[in-house]
Amino acid sequence: MKITTGIALVAMLAAANGATFAQGSGADTYKAKCQSCHGADGLASSGAGKVLKVKPATDPSVKAMSETEMIAAVHNGMGKMQPFKDSLTDAQIKASVEYFRTFVK
Q: What's the CATH number where 99 sits? A: 1.10.760.10
Q: What is the pLDDT of residues 30-83, one digit of tens each?
A: 999 999 999 999 999 999 999 999 999 999 999 999 999 999 999 999 988 999
pLDDT greater than 50 at residue 91: yes
Number of independent structural domains in the chain: 1
pLDDT value for 104: 84
d(CA 46, CA 87): 22
Report the amino acid identity of residue 80.
K
Q: Domain limits at 12?
A: 2-103
**Which of the two residues, 29 and 23, has the higher pLDDT score?**
29
d(CA 5, CA 78): 7
pLDDT greater than 50 at residue 23: no
pLDDT greater than 50 at residue 17: no
